[in-house]
Amino acid sequence: MVQVKDLEIGSGIPKVCVPIVEQAQEQILNKAQEMGGDVVDMVEWRVDFYKDVWDFGKVAQTASLLQSILGKIPLLFTFRTAREGGEQEISFENYEGLLLHMAKSGCVDLIDVEVFRGYDKMQRKRKEWKSPDSCNQPVKNLIRELSKEVAVIGSYHDFEKTPSREEILRRLFFMDKMGAGILKLAVMPQEKEDVICLMETTLLANRLIMDKPIITMSMGALGTVTRVAGEAFGSAVTFGCTGKESAPGQIEVSRLRQGMEILHLD
pLDDT digits 0-9 by tens, 50-68: 999 999 999 999 999 999 9
Q: What is the pLDDT of residue 242?
A: 87
177 is known as an active-site residue = no
161 is known as an active-site residue = no
pLDDT digits 0-9 by tens, 133-184: 467 899 999 999 999 999 999 999 999 999 999 999 999 999 999 999 999 9
Which residue is catalytic, options 184, 192, 212, 264? 184
Q: Report the predicted TM-score, pTM, of the whole model to 2 decimal places.
A: 0.93
Question: Residue 32's pLDDT band (boundaries 50, 70, 90)?
Answer: very high
- B/e letters for 199-223, b = 16+ CB within 10 Å, e = fewer, are bebbebbbeebeebbbbbbbbeebb
List the domain boundaries for the chain. Answer: 2-257
Which residue is catalytic, options 58, 157, 177, 192? 157
Cα of 22 vs its chain's centroid, Å = 18
CATH architecture for residues 2-257: Alpha-Beta Barrel (3.20)
The amino acid occupying position 249 is G
